[in-house]
Structure 1
Amino acid sequence: MLTDFRDGLARLAGIVTPGVDDTPYIQAAIEAITRDRDTGYSASGSSSSDGGSPALRFIPDQTAADYRRYSEQQAPVSVPMPIPLPGHSSLPTQPRPAHPPSEYPGHLLPPLDPFRPNPQASADSLASTLLLKSGQRPAQPHEWRVVDRDIIVGSIGEQKAATVPSLNFRPLALRAVSLLSFAALCLAMIVALMFSAVYSERQKGLRRYESAAGGLYFVFRMLPQLLAAVLLLWAQLVISTMFRILPFVRLASSRREEREGALFANLYPKSFLWPQLTGEWNVWVPILVTWLANFTIPLQSSLFTVILSGDDDSVWTWATVQGVAWTLVALYLALLASTIIVWRYWASVECTGLIWDPRSLADILAIVSDTNTADDYRGTQMARTRDGIRFALRRRADDKLGYWTWKDGRPGFWYTLGTPMDNAAFVPVLDPAAGQRMDRNDEKQGGVAAGGPDGELLGGNHDLEAGTAGLSAQARLRYLPWCLRSNQLLYFVVTALVLLVAIFVAAFLPSTRIASGFLPWLPSGPQPGVFSPADFLYSFLPSLLGMVLFLLFQSLDLSLRVLQPWAALADPRGARAEHSLLADYAACGAPAQSALRALRNGHWRVAALSAGAALFVLVPVLAGGMFMALTATDGAVRIYPNMPAFSILLTLLVLYLCALASLLPNRAAMRLPHAVTCLAEIAGFLANDDLLADPAFKQCRSRDEMLDKMGVRGGIPDTQPRWILNVGGAGGGDGAALLGIRRARRFTEKRRVRKSQIKRGVLNRSIV
């Protein structure tokens, strides 16, 4: 702050009156800025009525003996304390204060002497200011600088540097072997489609039609969309992993423009129902192509149809629909090209900024445990929206992820998300909890009618789980994802119930029994290119509707997987690390992977819904291959269903309805003040002193080392540490209670209570 002040004076040095000493003005301004406002000290230098002490003044060319009192009365000396640096308690090598209290003089100054021009002092002041402007200012004890591997090797040697993890970790889904395997499958699908299209055109068919059931029916009407579903799920896995890793890659970049805004980048795609384009072209192009790949399953459902062939056109034969086949070839070529783009992009990323895969809250905590920016995150826990957090963190544009060391040359280095703290843009903010303050004002002003974009009404919350708590409880429990709120869930359940009842009535009512077939109301005969309008409509449209149901349920499943660790932390008894900090359900992209892990942890609803999300991909598969145009015994063409496929589809729809209904109860524990889908939103709940100072997350060189420090390996589960999300100890030394994650204490543990907590009546309720 002082550097910026003097830089401004340097620019004005040629404008002010030459030969006039500006030092007294500078010192007076510094005194006005830095004096303690709580002492009530007036501008004239007299003490206030509440007994405050006069502030210290400094005049050049005076020694400590020249500090004396204004008045005859003896007044206590006010010793200014250095401002604590962000994250100072997390580094074992934190420097001592640059000016210990003993170095400050013990007397007060008389009022300033009358102004006397001093050209030499003005020139000296200007010279020192220009020296700071030229970058010659010596490094301060709190300043950091980024170090790369070459510097580490030069400081500790090649042998010791070999034990230092490299910042180039990539998840398996983004490695060359995985991406090239996926590209090979896309290429195989393209070859198969081209072969079937060309062979069918030349031979007037592929295989003789036998019946609307059996193995051949499965091969031509079910297998193509099953293979398309496998490729689609793999493509979604790649995109989901990119979303989760890209914010860390951007934070590790050497370009400030690329790092800016990375803290607020989404860690998870909101939905695959609509493309969420982000980043540069080599990022958003694969996202767009993956969204287009959603149409591959409905198109594969209508890839094959039955035509008359033979010399006398009397033999029914399976044939390839030419237009559909070549459209699929174009889509899979685009998917292949986007996979190559992804592979080339990640092959060019030399530094991802990661030691291991940040799949869980514990992994993110290990990254930010030694940060020097924690003070700015304190107070953002109760912000309503991401924009409020963005305002509170508006000076965090220069944060970088990597290895750091002291700028003044002291030994040691550490891995964290930090800032050099020497940038002129790092301007102190009087109220870093601005987002919290604004939210409180909104709540008071809005009352019952006030609402926000992230939640329901603040005063008159109509949600089934909202309750009738006061404003503080409403702020704590205001947020649920849009798809998990009561009104939306009720709409989903009621709509699904009505549609399911209508399907059952239409399918089994004697007058509309579906097994008897129904008229297509469209031409069913094959046209040029083996295209049958009736077969295409009753294959493509049911599969497309099934895709909508499948993608909608994916959003519900992802929201539940993101919030489940926080729901476990909301338990008043606390939760074991495997159930909370280490639960990585949101990072699981493979089918049924999160279901198996949730089953192991006893999270039954997450396990059931995650298994359902993988199982419901069969809805568009079965719906697309269920209907087919056939000639009845009376010579009329009707649409007949494959009854085994239809029965399985109805079973899946019943399970779908049950899964939706299971989301209605017991959602109160999932409520948070705001979303937790970006690093800035998550870090706010980790920025309390007791958690950042926890040795379990300090200087971990691997995930296994972190697990060992957390005490989750071996031993009796009931004796393992438990963690809780609650209002606990003060952060930043200001006595303000913070909502955050911390260890849950047992009755036998000695509790540390600060005086500020006793005065304010704020105690840590994290007791098991």
Structure 2
Amino acid sequence: MNVEQPQLLSVKTTKPQYSRTQSLRSASATNEYFSDYASDATSIKSNQTDDSGYETPPSRISSPIPQSELITSEMTLPTRPEAARPPPVDTRQDRGKNRRSRMLTSFDDMSPPTPGVDDTPYIRFAIEQLSADEEVMGHGRHSSILSNDTQPLRYLPSLSEEEEAPLAAHPVQDGREPPTPSTPQRPISRRPLPNEILLPVYPPEGQVWAELGFIPFPLRLWPLCVYIFLCLLVITGLLFSNIFALRNHGLYDYDGYATPRYFVFQYLPQMLGMILLIWLFVIEAAIYRTVPYLSMSSTGAPHTLLQDSRILPSNFVHPDLSWFKIHGRSLGVSFVIFWITNFTIPLLSCLYQTQWVTNDGPARWRWTTVQGVGWTLFVLYLFLVAALILALIHIHRQESGLMWDSASLADLIVLFQKGNILPDFERTEVDATVGDSLPPRSLRLGYWTTSQRPDIFYGVGEEKVSVNRLSANMELLLREKGLDSQTSSFDIERQRYSYASAFTRSIHSPFTRYRWVPWFVRDGAVLAWIIAAVCLIIAFLVVSFVNKAVQHGFLPQLPSRTRAGGFSSANFLFSFLPALLGMFLFLVWQPIDTYFRAVQPFTNLARPSGDSAERTILASYNACYPGEAVIQALINRDFKVAYIAFIGLVSATLPILAGGVFTAQLFANGQVRMVASMPGYIALSVLLTIYALSYITIWPTRKRYLPHAITTIADLLSFLYASPLLAEPALSHVRTKADLVARLVGAPLGLTGDSRMKGPTARYAFGIYIGRDGREHLGIDRRDIF
């Protein structure tokens, strides 16, 4: 059997090779994120092929192994012009030289790893990708500090239908330019227009523009004068009481602890003092939100107004000493005196005491004035009048620069939309402390123009500094691109590229989104408040009503005899101390009330479907009066804010009642006991119970958590600096607050104004949106943009 001799055939083989060329867009996905350098490059269009990219990504992505030598193949992609080429990609180990930028290779370049080649780069690359995916999903460790080396991402305009085909490979001759598209897209640039400088402008003689001297009602001249006049009346009453009681051995005869005269001497002084104190809180709140803008209208204003000047009142439990740092000594001294005024309520509760009089007719008990307390109050109210005069002079010595009371998010948009300071807030929405990332600025509030445009506008800006404007049609192109990318399919390349920067991971991270809440409403603190309040109220009720201990009286354990000046140790202690404790409870509730009022617009914005302008960007509960806040919150259906504001009013009665329920009584057996006025004590017990149980309602939900505080103007602007709301026509060229509300809500119809003419109701939300620069941001925008 003949067996054929096998023949060996030689087959010519070549090692697969590929070349890498930087491309302006991914070959497998359109409408994608790009780096900043791409915005200055010209779009490249191929005229030789209509092939489409991969429909699904391959199962394996090649590692970015650097090629030591570029081998020419039969087909090469068009080369990018030298000016449009990106900088070299840095490695993870070299973070300090250039911004970090990670780019994936084209799907066309993917191939299995070649045998015999070290797999270490592939393994390292896979580990890096897995780590990045864990951080994206929230399982990794997130840092609250944002690296400055992170390359910002940008959207490019959507390509036309003809340009949707991927770039085809075709030979390029030496010295030839790449083919020019027939309809080139205008390159996008975020650079400011050349030589466009922001310049202040003032109305010429003989012309009247909109006045810039608005002052909130509590700070106007005649309301402040009325308040000062009332303080002078109190001072006069104190002076009269002290002198009359000395000359007439008291004021009136004592007739029991359940009579109208008892009410006048034991409750009425604290009630009048509390009215003045709540009015003072309203004045303080108006100063907090007005003085930053007032300082912008004057020369020599601090350069850190936006980040250091608070707009929410905080002069409650402890004095706010930041006024000395930001606004000078006059307002600093005024606010220290305002805080000391809190002690007038406990002092007023022990101003009048009973005294046993024997040298003026028959021996009897008489109401008299405690001289030491009376003169102390006399001095404190004199200081209060002086502090108010200082504040009045500081506020009215010049125009405020305001057109209306700027207290809502919509007001901030109107003031800052055309200025030149918003670029300073780049990426600050994820910072734990916004002020640390902002440079000092010499700001001015008023009318402006630019060196390149004749139009005049109103707002806040820095004089003789470039105006950063987006180029023509840029916002429209970027918005269309952003919306398309939100509805397009999600693929692996998009995930890896979108989350390539720490900033983008931060805005998507729940650790950043729900990071901040004041310490006193954190879970542990609220739980402590609830336990302490419930335990104390139970102990209070048990001690008070078991065996009728309060009704039958208890020994004061202190001398109860009234001296010549009307002072009694027992009466003073059991009037001043309960009123002081009640005052502490009242003051402790005020920061809670302030926080819930301030955060409620963000709570409404955080709803899945957003909310209307009245409940979001127009809401300004902190600018409302105490009773007005309750009514306005009920109208807006913000019931939690309404209840907390109502408890703020209820808590004002605690020091009034607590300071007047106890008096020393002489019993038939010769003992002196501290006896409570039962009508007042029962009312106090009921109100204390309501107050204690109200701490259960202050547990903040997830919607009330924010990335950082909202106590300054800078904190709020960090959520608005890139928002398309800054370019809303409804928020441009606004002249009055009524005009602003009418544009956002609707204009009233008819003479009654009961109904409003409304188009489709716009809803606003807080979340991740596509900003005016085409990138993702965390902040506030219209709901249909998210």
Q: Same fold (TM over 0.5)?
A: yes
Matched residue, 1:411: 454
Contact 1:274 1:291 (8 Å CA) reproduced: yes
Contact 1:366 1:697 (8 Å CA) reproduced: yes
What TM-score, normalized to structure 2?
Answer: 0.70
Contact 2:198 2:420 (8 Å CA) reproduced: no
- Encode CA deviations 1:449-488: one digit per residue, 9 max, x unaligned: xxxxxxxxxxxxxxxxxxxxx9701211111122221111
The one-letter code matched in structure 1 to 2:708 is H
Residue among 688, 700, 723 paired with 2:764 = 723
The one-letter code matched in structure 2 to 1:738 is H
Matched residue, 1:125: none
Contact 2:613 2:745 (8 Å CA) reproduced: no
Query: In structure 2, do the counterparts of structure 1 residues 209 and 718 end up closer, same or farther at CA, with 3 Å as the change threshold?
Result: farther
The one-letter code matched in structure 1 to 2:767 is N
- Encode CA deviations 1:115-140: one digit per residue, 9 max, x unaligned: xxxxxxxxxxxxxxxxxxxxxxxxx2
Matched residue, 1:339: 388
Residue among 422, 447, 455 paired with 1:374 = 422
Matched residue, 1:565: 601
Contact 2:238 2:374 (8 Å CA) reproduced: yes
- Encode CA deviations 1:360-379: one digit per residue, 9 max, x unaligned: 11112211222233333232
Matched residue, 1:476: 513
Matched residue, 1:198: 243
The one-letter code matched in structure 1 to 2:399 is C
The one-letter code matched in structure 2 to 1:661 is I
Contact 2:354 2:365 (8 Å CA) reproduced: yes
Contact 2:270 2:349 (8 Å CA) reproduced: yes
Matched residue, 2:227: 182
1: CA distance between counterparts of 2:305 and 2:756? 43
Deviation at 1:668, TM superposition (A): 1.1
Residue among 325, 335, 341 paired with 2:374 = 325
2: CA distance between counterparts of 1:440 and 1:363? 32
Aligned residues: 589
Matched residue, 1:609: 644
Match of 1:583, SS? coil
Deviation at 1:254, TM superposition (A): 3.1
Deviation at 1:188, TM superposition (A): 0.4
Residue among 486, 507, 514 paired with 2:523 = 486
The one-letter code matched in structure 2 to 1:413 is I
Deviation at 1:318, TM superposition (A): 0.6
Contact 2:273 2:348 (8 Å CA) reproduced: yes
> Mean Cα displacement is larger for which, 556-565 or 590-599?
590-599
Deviation at 1:397, TM superposition (A): 0.9
Equivalent runs, 1:417-456 vs 2, <5 Å: 417-420=460-463, 422=465
2: CA distance between counterparts of 1:242 and 1:302? 31
The one-letter code matched in structure 1 to 2:643 is A
Structure 1 segments, 4+ long, off by >4 Å, are 34-39, 75-83, 439-444, 716-719
Residue among 193, 196, 204 paired with 1:153 = 204
Matched residue, 1:65: none
- Encode CA deviations 1:591-615: one digit per residue, 9 max, x unaligned: 3121111011111111111011012
> Mean Cα displacement is larger for which, 359-368 or 555-564?
359-368
- RMSD of aligned C-alpha atoms? 3.3
Match of 1:351, SS? coil
Matched residue, 1:699: 733
The one-letter code matched in structure 2 to 1:404 is W
Residue among 626, 629, 633 paired with 2:668 = 633
Match of 2:626, SS? coil
Contact 1:696 1:706 (8 Å CA) reproduced: yes
Match of 1:738, SS? strand
Contact 2:723 2:781 (8 Å CA) reproduced: no
Verify: 1:744 aligned to 2:771, yes or no.
no
2: CA distance between counterparts of 1:654 and 1:442? 48
1: CA distance between counterparts of 2:666 and 2:627? 41
Query: In structure 2, do the counterparts of structure 1 residues 718 and 271 end up closer, same or farther at CA, with 3 Å as the change threshold?
Result: farther
2: CA distance between counterparts of 1:540 and 1:76? 89
Contact 1:271 1:554 (8 Å CA) reproduced: no
2: CA distance between counterparts of 1:423 and 1:442? 28
Matched residue, 2:165: none
2: CA distance between counterparts of 1:491 and 1:331? 35
Match of 2:215, SS? coil
2: CA distance between counterparts of 1:700 and 1:311? 72
The one-letter code matched in structure 2 to 1:147 is V
Deviation at 1:543, TM superposition (A): 0.2
Q: Percent identity?
A: 31
Match of 2:601, SS? helix
Matched residue, 1:754: none
Deviation at 1:440, TM superposition (A): 5.3
Query: In structure 2, do the counterparts of structure 1 residues 718 and 643 end up closer, same or farther at CA, with 3 Å as the change threshold?
Result: farther
2: CA distance between counterparts of 1:399 and 1:71? 55
Deviation at 1:341, TM superposition (A): 1.1
Deviation at 1:556, TM superposition (A): 0.7
Unpaired segments ≥5 residues, structure 1: 1-33, 40-47, 57-69, 87-96, 99-139, 425-436, 445-469, 746-763
- Encode CA deviations 1:519-565: one digit per residue, 9 max, x unaligned: 00000001231110000000000000000000001111111000011
Deviation at 1:392, TM superposition (A): 3.0
Verify: 1:304 aligned to 2:349, yes or no.
no
- Encode CA deviations 1:566-596: one digit per residue, 9 max, x unaligned: 10011111111111111111122x3312111
1: CA distance between counterparts of 2:656 and 2:610? 43
Match of 1:509, SS? helix
Contact 2:40 2:187 (8 Å CA) reproduced: no
Matched residue, 1:364: 412
- Encode CA deviations 1:94-153: one digit per residue, 9 max, x unaligned: xxx66xxxxxxxxxxxxxxxxxxxxxxxxxxxxxxxxxxxxxxxxx2x2110112xxx33
1: CA distance between counterparts of 2:462 and 2:339? 37
Verify: 1:595 aligned to 2:630, yes or no.
yes
Query: In structure 2, do the counterparts of structure 1 residues 36 and 183 end up closer, same or farther at CA, with 3 Å as the change threshold?
Result: closer
Match of 2:718, SS? helix
1: CA distance between counterparts of 2:175 and 2:79? 15
Larger-gyration structure (1/2):
2
2: CA distance between counterparts of 1:312 and 1:422? 82
1: CA distance between counterparts of 2:409 and 2:185? 41
Deviation at 1:411, TM superposition (A): 2.2
Contact 2:215 2:400 (8 Å CA) reproduced: yes
Match of 1:258, SS? coil
Task: Select the structure that is richer in helix.
Answer: 1
Equivalent runs, 1:1-150 vs 2, <5 Å: 51-55=79-83, 72-74=175-177, 83-84=189-190, 140=195, 142-148=196-202
Query: In structure 2, do the counterparts of structure 1 residues 264 and 82 end up closer, same or farther at CA, with 3 Å as the change threshold?
Result: farther
1: CA distance between counterparts of 2:82 and 2:510? 43
1: CA distance between counterparts of 2:449 and 2:642? 44
2: CA distance between counterparts of 1:668 and 1:652? 30
Deviation at 1:75, TM superposition (A): 5.3
1: CA distance between counterparts of 2:253 and 2:463? 73
Residue among 535, 547, 553 paired with 1:498 = 535
Contact 1:205 1:317 (8 Å CA) reproduced: yes
Unpaired segments ≥5 residues, structure 2: 1-36, 43-75, 85-172, 468-498, 748-754
Matched residue, 1:543: 579
Deviation at 1:358, TM superposition (A): 0.7
Residue among 721, 728, 735 paired with 1:687 = 721
Match of 1:640, SS? strand
Query: In structure 2, do the counterparts of structure 1 residues 564 and 80 end up closer, same or farther at CA, with 3 Å as the change threshold?
Result: closer
Query: In structure 2, do the counterparts of structure 1 residues 688 and 501 end up closer, same or farther at CA, with 3 Å as the change threshold?
Result: same
The one-letter code matched in structure 1 to 2:444 is K
Contact 1:252 1:259 (8 Å CA) reproduced: no
Match of 1:292, SS? helix
2: CA distance between counterparts of 1:263 and 1:712? 34
Deviation at 1:71, TM superposition (A): 6.5
